[in-house]
Structure 1
Amino acid sequence: MGDQHDVDEGRDGRGRVRLTPPQWLVSGLRPQNTPIPWPAVGRAGIALAAPLAVGFATDQAAYGALVSMGALSGVIGDTADAYRMRVFNIAVPQLFGAIGVTLGTLVYGDGWLAVGALTLVALVSGMISSIGAVASVSGLLLLLNAVVGAGLPMPSPWWKAPLLLSIGGLFVLLLSLLAWPLRNRVPERAAVASTYRAAADLLEAAGGTAYDAKRQAVTQSLNTAYDLVLARRTRDHGRRSPLVRLLAQLNVVIPLVEAAPAAHLRGRPLPAEIPAAVRELAAAVEEGRTGPVPDLELPEPGKPSERAVDAALRHAAVVVHKPDPDPYNVDDRLGRPAALRIRLRRGARNVLLSESSWRYGLRLALCIGLAQSLVSLVPVPRSYWVALTVTFVLKPDFGSVFSRAVLRALGTAVGLVTAAAVLSEVPRGWWDVPVMVVLAALIPAFSAKGYAFQTAAITPVILLLSDLLNHQGFHLVLPRLWDSLIGCGISLVAGYLLWPESWHTRIGDRLADAVADAAAYVEYAFASAAGDDAERVRRRRRIYRDLSVVRSEFQRALTEPPPTGARASAWWPLVVAVERIVDATTAARVRVNHGAPPPTSAEVADASRELRELAEGLRASSTLVSVHAALAGEESGVLAPLRHEISAARAIASPGGA
């Protein structure tokens, strides 16, 4: 990844030099290899077309268009698997969207008052977006609907627009919940089964080059499964609930995952019977099968790592097949959400006291203020599209601002071609209904492929709905292209170039925190043989969650132009090294649990000190000048692999190491 340049050079078959666009520019144009969510495709087509049909039937086309706009917001937010999460993902943002369109409607046509109001809304929207996923979508709809309300004529009185938009969002929610009685707990069960399959893939990759990638997949799968199961567990405290079974089945996969690093250090693949047995457990979980515990035909274990895998697999088989697992032996502290009042208090503290929250809020407010000021000074027809573009481009958790601006411009251009064909060839009226069925169905299908594809799908839908409100027809197309380019330009200059955020502050500090947590994890893992094993598991999962966030930041930075992209590429091996340090610590603990001699307190203290020095060096924005002398030479003992990984991490952080 470190060979990214402004232009990549290569040679064709005749030896001629050919120039190709840089990786950071074209990465977003490659469609992601993800399956099309067909149920969401069907819901989108119905949710956006049905309100139009009702509007035409009642001779209230504008009302139908507003309901469809609300449904569009619901379709964009309908991304959760679990039904309870869909309620939060769709219903809560709709409330903020209703507030936003109300504020926008109140300042419609008021010039500089609208500039000030939208700037303030942008500040609040940006700040609350830092709380979490649902708050992020809520902040997005708050600002988007405020911009639409301030830029498009809305029916009077003031309460009609928010009511109609909310009806559209709730219609999407209703459609998404229709299968709840038939598929209750299916998403949670499928997520737990998927975790078992990911663990099987991890064990199959032990000792090979694909191990790191499989470990990341297991981490993501565990995070998803715990989020789904424990989100429902917050309201289900029964000791005999089916959720107790799912939680017990999920908890017992942890020892398997922990045994994998120890098996990987053996340097050779595990017998094929082991991953096959785990996949059979995954099938039993997904089908809800119980009954006699199967007699697993596994090779006789010899070394501590082999005994760890064998013991974990046999215990998992008992829990998966046992009709009634011990309900008092289910620890749901491995990821159970805190009480609502605690989460609200944390969220408020994060919004008001977080530097990153204020930084993003001010950046978004500046760009929206500039966009609204520009269209107030320069006559731009239906100018709301400029601020709309700024909002989509500056969405913080969707990717790099730079790449999103480029992809937004390209996606809008493609979408406008489709919109031009529709607006010029399809007569307004009932023909809009079948056209909307097709265009709306493309949104979830294209959204799964990437941001540029999503933009290309959403653009003609918004333009068609806007035309039902302002009746500009084909003349709406070209101004939208210029508006999009203006919005992308404002985002690039005022939201990107004028905010040279320190790459080290955004990524290096988070990586340093993960290294410091790894040091504490090493100390806790070997502080006492009688330590709280569940607490050790929680600490390990917390580190991997933090490293997942760091990975996301790195992937975002890799899509930015030099020097940020090149620097992120150079530091990427350090992220992998920290993950391997945590793996090596877990492997050492597992080996000790199954008969290997424990390390001395001096060895543990030395390893922890090396990690803390590495963390301090990363925070100080300075490179470590050398590898500690104690790491040289051959080592033995259970912590030898851990010391080796620490040595590798410090070598990467040394001058010339990256």
Structure 2
Amino acid sequence: MCRGALAAGPLLLAGMLGGQTASGVLAAIGAMLAGINDRPGSRRASVQRLGVPALAGALGLFLGTCAGQGLAAVPLTLALTGLGLVAGGVSAVGPVASAAGTQLLVAAAIGAGMPAAENGWQRALAFLAGAGWLLALRLALPSPGSLAGDFRFDGERAAVAGVYDAIAALLDAVGGEDATARRAALTAALDHAQDALAGPRLRRYTGSAAERRLHARFAAALPLAEAATALYWAGEAVPARAAQGPRRLAAAVRGDRGTGPLPAPHRSAPALRALDDALLHAADAFDRGDGAHRGLLARRRGFRHAVRAALGTGGREYGMRVALCFGASAAIAQALHHARWYGQHEHWYWLPATAVFLVKPDLGPLASRVLCRAAGTVLGALVFAALAALLPRPAGLVALVAVCGAVIPVATRHFAALTAAVTVLVLALVMAGGEPQASVSRIGETLLACVLVLVVGHLPMPGERGGGVRARLAAAGSAADAYLVHVLGESGDRAERWALRREAYRTLAEARTAIAVAAAELPALARHTEGTDAVAEVLERLVDTTTACAVHLDETGRLTPRHLRRLRDALGELERRGMRVPVGTAAVA
């Protein structure tokens, strides 16, 4: 909230005081969009999370400005449609790519439709300066409560400590009703810590002592998580003090200190022996202080993965839907802009910009986000209309922009609240730029965009519907196959095994999220992904069983009939549900 208050409002004020109000407005828009992507977490990860979408937004503003100044209405609409197709496909790669695709299209619409005397490069630099200012605040300002220590790594420390806390919570829940939810929470904690430590290095080859220590402590958590998952699979309650060790390790990470004494071990079962061995290795890594840095024991998704996701069934389906929404909304908006009977319609870029946010599937089910967008826009427009009649100008508008910037980080928890805050901020920027009050047109165009996206969202598309869900499920199946083949092949490379395990659980969690969103759609859309939740559940059992097999093989060198039976049951059920079992898995099993 502090960063948000110091971003858009001061940038707008600086532009107005310097006689560059238009540039100040664009810089404030850049800071606003970066603020929407600003999340709690590590500073280094924020460089990618905020920086990549900002660069995409600056490119979109440049392209949109050039297209708007040089093309007539029909060629401009075709150009925006093609840009929507590319950005939609790229958005299927992941969260950062989705944010980048969104900012690319929103900024392109603004550049094409907002009249200005500046050229494309000047507008792009102003936008980039605003986003860069917020990123600089993110890197420079300490988090609350972190002033006493090295606050550069407070987000990373909290993420790694969260992994140890999640391990302890899973151990407490083993054999109980909450065990499955705790195992899912452990996966989420590991994903968050992996992302937190995956940002750009402060030094290219060797990081600081604190950085190496954090990497070593995260690596030490991986075998602990593996042993805890094996105990969860066995389903037998473990002694209460088994969770004390991970909790003390979590406290040591938060305090950036040694562990102190750890509870006495329990070695009555293979998984418990593995847990105690992992705890001893973790204590050794903590006591070394500096920690031998062996790197993140998890695979980083590369260029080929991104291309496959963008050009796969999910990317193609989403790209076509975004292109159709973006292009149709731009065409309708320009037709209204040139229609004499419609009256003044200066902000035609609002319609395609709104459609871009509405068509994003990672913001929730289609019907839900449309209703939230409509309600949030109406509320925000009414609030702004009331405030605009009371506040002095321009000081009151600058203060309102600063307040809305501070509210956005809290409002991101609900799409309707975020829409309301952004609506007030955008209307304040429009008025600060010298244009008249535009609450009524903002409401009308948002409702029109809602109708358009609802229609396009339910239109049949070439290929199989639900392609994004099925693509993620196929990726989870391939990752589970690679993990199982490695474990049953009895390779001694534990680092590779932990990397494969992380990839299996991560892709499975992504598939689960996509399935949950699809299941919450209206029946006309939800029916296309029926049965995928059952397949994900079987894959989850397969990965859990593979983890239990890995731990048991480490301790005894052989598998029990129970392990083999559970493997065969999971593989057989996958075949019955129509999911092809890879040749490698079938042969090894």
For 2:401, the equivalent position in structure 1 comes to: 436
CA contact (8 A) 1:96 1:142 kept: yes
Structure 2: how far apart are the matches of 1:141 and 1:559?
A: 26
- Tell me the SS of whatever aligns to 1:155: coil
- Relative to structure 1, is the Cα distance of residues 388 and 463 closer, same or farther in structure 2, using a 3 angstrom cutoff? same
Shift of 1:200: 0.8
Structure 2: how far apart are the matches of 1:393 and 1:416?
A: 18
- From 435, 448, 456, the equivalent of 1:471 is 435
- From 397, 405, 415, the equivalent of 2:362 is 397
Structure 1 segments unaligned to the other structure (5+ residues): 1-40, 622-642, 644-658
- From 34, 39, 45, the equivalent of 1:74 is 34
Structure 1: how far apart are the matches of 2:218 and 2:196?
A: 11
Structure 2: how far apart are the matches of 1:503 and 1:141?
A: 26
For 2:386, the equivalent position in structure 1 comes to: 421
For 1:208, the equivalent position in structure 2 comes to: 176
Residue 139 (structure 1) aligned with residue 101 (structure 2): yes
- Tell me the SS of whatever aligns to 2:458: helix
Structure 2: how far apart are the matches of 1:77 and 1:296?
A: 40
Shift of 1:544: 0.5
Shift of 1:361: 2.0
The count of aligned residue pairs is: 566
- Tell me the SS of whatever aligns to 1:231: coil
- From 389, 405, 411, the equivalent of 1:446 is 411
Structure 1: how far apart are the matches of 2:244 and 2:87?
A: 49
Structure 2: how far apart are the matches of 1:300 and 1:138?
A: 49
For 2:315, the equivalent position in structure 1 comes to: 357
Residues 265-321 of structure 1: per-residue CA shift (max 9 Å, x gap):
55443222221221111111121113xx64433364322233222222222222222
For 1:274, the equivalent position in structure 2 comes to: 242
Write out aligned runs for 1:288-307 (5 A). Answer: 288-290=256-258, 294-298=260-264, 300-307=266-273
For 2:583, the equivalent position in structure 1 comes to: none
CA contact (8 A) 2:549 2:563 kept: no
Shift of 1:523: 4.2
Residues 59-93 of structure 1: per-residue CA shift (max 9 Å, x gap):
44333222211211221222362222222333332
- Relative to structure 1, is the Cα distance of residues 517 and 618 closer, same or farther in structure 2, using a 3 angstrom cutoff? farther
CA contact (8 A) 1:153 1:469 kept: no
- Relative to structure 1, is the Cα distance of residues 349 and 203 closer, same or farther in structure 2, using a 3 angstrom cutoff? closer
Residues 405-430 of structure 1: per-residue CA shift (max 9 Å, x gap):
22211211111121211223223311
Shift of 1:574: 4.4
**CA-atom RMSD in angstroms:** 3.0
- Relative to structure 1, is the Cα distance of residues 184 and 576 closer, same or farther in structure 2, using a 3 angstrom cutoff? same
Structure 2 segments unaligned to the other structure (5+ residues): 143-148, 581-588
For 2:47, the equivalent position in structure 1 comes to: 87
Residues 222-259 of structure 1: per-residue CA shift (max 9 Å, x gap):
12212222434595433884333222211222222122
Shift of 1:616: 4.2
Shift of 1:177: 1.8
For 2:422, the equivalent position in structure 1 comes to: 458
Structure 2: how far apart are the matches of 1:495 and 1:68?
A: 31
Q: Which one is further off, 97-106 or 608-617?
A: 608-617
- Tell me the SS of whatever aligns to 1:108: helix
Structure 1: how far apart are the matches of 2:62 and 2:485?
A: 54
Residues 3-27 of structure 1: per-residue CA shift (max 9 Å, x gap):
xxxxxxxxxxxxxxxxxxxxxxxxx
Residue 585 (structure 1) aligned with residue 546 (structure 2): yes
- Relative to structure 1, is the Cα distance of residues 278 and 611 closer, same or farther in structure 2, using a 3 angstrom cutoff? closer
Structure 1: how far apart are the matches of 2:357 and 2:22?
A: 24
For 1:540, the equivalent position in structure 2 comes to: 501
Structure 2: how far apart are the matches of 1:405 and 1:253?
A: 41
For 1:323, the equivalent position in structure 2 comes to: 289
For 2:151, the equivalent position in structure 1 comes to: 183
For 1:43, the equivalent position in structure 2 comes to: 3
Shift of 1:484: 0.6
Structure 2: how far apart are the matches of 1:131 and 1:241?
A: 33
- From 517, 522, 536, the equivalent of 1:556 is 517
Structure 2: how far apart are the matches of 1:51 and 1:205?
A: 50
Corresponding letter in the other structure for 1:245:
R
- Relative to structure 1, is the Cα distance of residues 118 and 224 closer, same or farther in structure 2, using a 3 angstrom cutoff? same
Structure 2: how far apart are the matches of 1:574 and 1:122?
A: 32
Shift of 1:460: 1.0
Q: Which one is further off, 561-570 or 84-93?
A: 561-570
For 2:61, the equivalent position in structure 1 comes to: 101
For 2:295, the equivalent position in structure 1 comes to: 332
Structure 2: how far apart are the matches of 1:344 and 1:572?
A: 29
CA contact (8 A) 1:188 1:228 kept: yes
CA contact (8 A) 2:47 2:200 kept: no
Q: TM-score, normalised by structure 1?
A: 0.78
Residue 262 (structure 1) aligned with residue 220 (structure 2): no
Structure 2: how far apart are the matches of 1:300 and 1:103?
A: 64
- Relative to structure 1, is the Cα distance of residues 544 and 115 closer, same or farther in structure 2, using a 3 angstrom cutoff? same
- Relative to structure 1, is the Cα distance of residues 315 and 103 closer, same or farther in structure 2, using a 3 angstrom cutoff? closer
Shift of 1:157: 4.1
Residues 526-562 of structure 1: per-residue CA shift (max 9 Å, x gap):
333x543333222222110111111111121132112
- Tell me the SS of whatever aligns to 2:41: coil
CA contact (8 A) 2:159 2:193 kept: yes
Structure 2: how far apart are the matches of 1:244 and 1:500?
A: 49
Corresponding letter in the other structure for 2:358:
V
Write out aligned runs for 1:5-24 (5 A). Answer: none
- Tell me the SS of whatever aligns to 1:177: helix
Structure 2: how far apart are the matches of 1:554 and 1:294?
A: 44
